[in-house]
Amino acid sequence: MFKSTFIKINFINYAIVLLLIFSSKTIAQSKENGLSANSKWSEKAAVTILNKYPKAWQIDGTEKPKWDYKMSLVLFSFEKLYEKTKDKKYLNYIKEYADEMIDSSGNIKKYEIKEYNIDYVNPGKLLFNLYEETKDNRYLKVTQQLRNQLESQPRTTSGGFWHKQIYPNQMWIDGLYMAEPFYAQYTVKYENGKALDDIAKQFELVQNHLVDKKTGLVYQAWDESKQIGWANPETGTSPTIWGRGIGWYMMALVETLDYFPKSHPKQKELVTFLNEISKNIIKYKSTSGLWYQVTDKPEMKDNFVESSSSAMIIYSLAKGTDKGYLPASYKKTAQKSFDAFIKEFVKTEANNEIIISNVSSNVGLGGKPFRDGSNEYYIKSKTKDNSSPALAAFILSAAELGK
């Protein structure tokens, strides 16, 4: 009896010691990463990234340094955090990536213009501020290289940028985000805005060819030739309205408008496009205020609310309201949806870092094996935790809402 009681007491004491050790370790980790339970959501997400990926090129588990839109999306959110906090760790993370990817002569490592991959243009956005901060001419030279790519980028006969050389006659909705904010910033800063009409034209082509007449939402892609296997034989559009595609498009609008002068004749047109897509996307949010992977078919079997699209839409609504493009009521919608996002997708770990769940994996069209772009293809795509589109858009939405 005595021996049994003694063993029980020792076991309890041992458990208490383990709990104290674990608690002390957790507190130490939280102090080390600078986070507390009261830290802003944007900072929790940013520190989560910094700790998991000491080098920005490692984002999403990338094994070799790569000039890529995934890194630039995250680093763009870090740039916004740096603007708000003046914390140099965010700027340094951006600069280290640029210096890893740009050689001493001012050339992007392993960059081939002949691929005409429009995704390569997106990281150029990071270089405007880096050049202003450092006056390092390498950064300016790379922005000029990327502008030259756009100058010779293959186009549809109607004037839209091909997504890549390997996808002839095709405009993809994410290509608007990859190119237009950079293009607008460059042409306003260095060319007296000479290309603004061309930029507006890219959005006009989306309105004319990628917007679904029934829902007012956008398809992921359009083949002007209508020859590729996934293309609707009448319209040329791909089959599915993908949540993240809508997010890419809305972000492309709000970020391009940052550089479009109000005096320009096409500025009001872009604001109208933003109002139209915002009005229509609100109709398709879930009861909690989030958005589905296949956005217009929430009732489809195995369809799911998806985090990256939801965060991108929240950010776009909040920014659009703050800039005066959208009615004030959209800010309240964004705030409610942000709160729903936290409940649905965000788990806070013991050290106050976070996990964002239900991120759609990267999906595409065509290629080998052939991707048919069907609703089922999108729904069956595996989801991930803490993938870059969700983390970056979450930081942007949190920063825009002051969270």
Average pLDDT over every residue of 349-359: 97
According to the model, what pLDDT value does residue 169 have? 98
Q: Which of 60, 68, 119, 174 is catalytic?
A: 174
pLDDT > 50? residue 290: yes
- Beta bridge partner(s), residue 305: 292
- Beta bridge partner(s), residue 242: 294
pLDDT > 70? residue 10: no
According to the model, what pLDDT value does residue 26 have? 44
Reported as a single tens digit per residue, the pLDDT across 235-283 is 999 999 999 999 999 999 999 999 999 999 999 999 999 999 999 999 9
pLDDT band at 129 (very low <50, low <70, confident <90, very high): very high
Question: Which DSSP string do the residues of 205-227 spell out, in sequence order?
Answer: HHHHHTB-TTTS-B-SEEETT--
- The amino acid sitting at 174 is D
Non-local CB neighbours of 381 within 8 Å, separated by 6+ positions: 293, 360, 361, 363
Q: Is 94 exposed, middle or buried (0-12, 13-18, 19+ CB in 10 A)?
A: buried
**Overall pTM > 0.85:** yes
According to the model, what pLDDT value does residue 403 have? 86
According to the model, what pLDDT value does residue 21 have? 47
pLDDT band at 27 (very low <50, low <70, confident <90, very high): very low
Give the whole-angstrom CA distance, residue 69 versus residue 177. Answer: 10
CB 176 within 8 A of CB 206: yes
Instruction: Clarify whether 174 is annotated catalytic.
Output: yes
Average pLDDT over every residue of 105-117: 97
Give the whole-angstrom CA distance, residue 208 versus residue 328. Answer: 28
Average pLDDT over every residue of 18-46: 70
pLDDT > 60? residue 7: no
According to the model, what pLDDT value does residue 25 have? 45
User: Tokens at residue 142, please?
Assistant: 């790379």
Reported as a single tens digit per residue, the pLDDT across 151-180 is 999 999 999 999 999 999 999 999 999 999
Give exposure, 227-251, as e/b (b: 16+ Cβ within 10 Å). Answer: ebebbeeeebbbbbbbbbbbbbbbb
Give the whole-angstrom CA distance, residue 128 versus residue 201. Answer: 24
pLDDT band at 31 (very low <50, low <70, confident <90, very high): low
Average pLDDT of the chain to the nearest whole number: 94
Reported as a single tens digit per residue, the pLDDT across 42-85 is 999 999 999 999 999 999 999 999 999 999 999 999 999 999 99
Reported as a single tens digit per residue, the pLDDT across 135-150 is 999 999 999 999 999 9
pLDDT > 90? residue 304: yes
Q: What SS3 state is found at 188?
A: helix
pLDDT > 80? residue 28: no
pLDDT > 50? residue 24: no
pLDDT band at 217 (very low <50, low <70, confident <90, very high): very high
CB 281 within 8 A of CB 291: yes
According to the model, what pLDDT value does residue 34 have? 83
Give the whole-angstrom CA distance, residue 10 versus residue 13. Answer: 5
According to the model, what pLDDT value does residue 33 have? 73
Closest CA to 110 of 60, 71, 66, 140: 66
- The DSSP secondary-structure symbol of 62 reads -
